[in-house]
Amino acid sequence: MTSAITLRAMTVEEFQAFRARAESEYADAHVAAGEWPAERARELAASETDALLPQGAQTPKMLLLTAEAESDGVVGRVWVGLEHERRSGAWIYDIEIDDAHRGKGYGRALLSAVEELVLRHGSDAIGLNVFADNEIARALYDSSGYQASSLHMRKPLR
């Protein structure tokens, strides 16, 4: 259905655009989930990103990669940490396929490429977080063998 993808390091410009978009989407997802107040969400997202990437795209043990397909060029991006301070194994902080390239199998191809890369770096497990309302991503992860390791639940009282 789709050609294979290759991974390469993000350029400075790609990283800046990725970070701005990822922080905005992360903040919005936390607000939608009822976890963060809207007025502080952008600040909280930026603070978490700063803590995880103190040296930006050059932070050791963090891989910020662009996914390219021979037939379509740049199709997506991924941010993966080779270690996580509270979890065993690698961690996918963000993974995205551009809207124009969704539904072509690139999400599965990117996930597979990241898993192979993490194995080559010596990790034997990989984890990620997905918000409950992201049904398409959850279906991809379920069908790719990911299993729930924890579940946060919330009930609005008003």
By the 8 A CB rule, do 75 and 96 touch? no
Q: Is residue 154 part of a domain?
A: no
Mean pLDDT of 98-125: 94
Q: Is residue 158 part of a domain?
A: no
User: What pLDDT is attached to residue 83?
Assistant: 84
- Flag whether 62 is in a domain: yes
pLDDT of residue 87: 73
Q: pLDDT of 88-111, one tens digit each?
A: 789 999 999 999 999 999 999 999
Q: Is residue 152 part of a domain?
A: no
Asked if residue 150 is part of any domain, the answer here is no
Q: What is the CA radius of gyration of the chain?
A: 16
Residues 6+ positions from 120 with CB-CB distance below 8 Å: none
- Where residue 16 sits, what CATH number does that domain have? 3.40.630.30
Show the domain range for 60.
5-143
pTM value surpassing 0.85: yes
- Higher pLDDT among residues 2 and 27, named by residue: 27
The mean per-residue pLDDT over the stretch 109-133 comes to 93
**Cβ neighbours of residue 93 closer than 8 Å, sequence gap 6 or more:** 52, 79, 80, 81, 128
The mean per-residue pLDDT over the stretch 35-55 comes to 96
- Buried b / exposed e across 72-87, counting CB within 10 Å, b at 16+? beebbbbbbbbebeee
Give pLDDT tens digits for 8-41. Answer: 999 999 999 999 999 999 999 999 989 999 999 9
Helix (H) or strand (E) holding 118, with range, is helix 106-120
Q: How many domains would you assign to the chain?
A: 1
**Secondary-structure percent of the chain, ordered helix, strand, coil, rounded to 5:** 40, 20, 35
Dihedral angle, C-alpha 52, 82, 91, 137, nearest 10 °: 110
Identify whether 151 is part of a domain.
no
Is the pLDDT confidence value at 85 over 80? no
Whether 21 is in a domain gets the answer: yes
Flag whether pLDDT at 2 surpasses 90: no
